A = this chain, B = another copy of it.
């Protein structure tokens, strides 16, 4: 087409796709480009604004590294990551919520009743629950990959004071589908805001805070893997999570318990002298069908 105009360019783009283009590729590229073009037309996007968009992408590129995933963070604060999660959540299973950029593969095994807090101070939290299928039956052998911030609000990969797998653990549940571990209560924290994504937050008058949460990835053969988070119901940022991760069924009450109520058979049993927090969080997995 030698006479491309602002009105026909989207159709010209589609005419360039070959007839044997994979139908899903055609659907995705078509929708993506139509929305990009409509965005430019609707806003009458200027060259300076286009350059600012390119500079944003190049700025993300400049700090992208194994430990800094600025494009994922951009997707998070624009609500794209959560939207994709919600599009594929099942009504009869526990809601999924953002993976975030701080998951590390290969976490060490954490036995039932094990402790993740090690030498770190802060209120002890006992988290426990059952992994079930949608009929309510336990799923023996389900695996929970757990991670969270240290009491300073930093994940291991952000913090030179922590080793790689600090506050990371991988627990396999038994025949009863139960899990239990101790940690410190996670704290609210800010997403990294010293890069281009932080500039966007500031230009929109937005804060970079997330409510405190525990991350879980729950897996079992024959079931859909679930990436999710648990939030305490008294967190000040619950209604304005900067990455849109909060769902009603992920908000839990963290109850204060007396030291005498701490159960037997856990790594910290016998050493609890102060009141501790307790949360029960059951997870329902949908079958992978």
Contacts and interface: CB of A to CB of B under 8 A. Distances in A.
Contact of A2 (B82, B88, B248): B248
Interface stretch (A20-28, A129-137, A152-160, A271-279): A20-28
A61 B70 CA distance: 11
Given A57-B60, A81-B50, A36 B35 contact: yes
Contact of A31 (B2, B4, B39): B39
A1 B239 contact: yes
Contact of A71 (B44, B57, B239): B57
Interface string A1-27: 111111001101100111111100111
B32 A54 contact: no
B247 A4 contact: yes
A246 interface: yes
Interface string A210-241: 00000000000000000000000000001111
Contact of A84 (B47, B75, B203): B47
A75 B50 contact: yes
Given A43-B31, A71-B57, A205-B18, A84 B37 contact: no
Size class of the A contact interface (CB-based, 8 Å): 35 or more
Given A75-B50, A251-B2, A12 B244 contact: yes
B54 A71 contact: yes
A260 B16 CA distance: 44
A267 interface: no
Given A6-B86, A238-B2, A204 B37 contact: no
A27 B203 CA distance: 12
A240 B16 contact: yes
Given A57-B71, A238-B2, A246-B4, A12 B79 contact: yes
A64 B71 contact: no
Nearest to A37: B83
A12 B204 CA distance: 13
A123 B142 CA distance: 72
Contact of A4 (B6, B82, B204): B82
Interface in A180-218: 200, 203-206
Q: Name which of A27, A35, A49, A69 has the most chain B CB atoms within 10 A of its CB.
A: A35
Given A12-B244, A35-B39, A5 B86 contact: yes
Contact of A36 (B13, B43, B78, B245): B78
9 contacts: A2-B239, A6-B86, A33-B79, A44-B87, A47-B84, A47-B85, A50-B81, A54-B72, A61-B61
A-B residue pairs, 5 tightest by C-beta: A18-B205, A61-B61, A35-B35, A6-B86, A57-B71
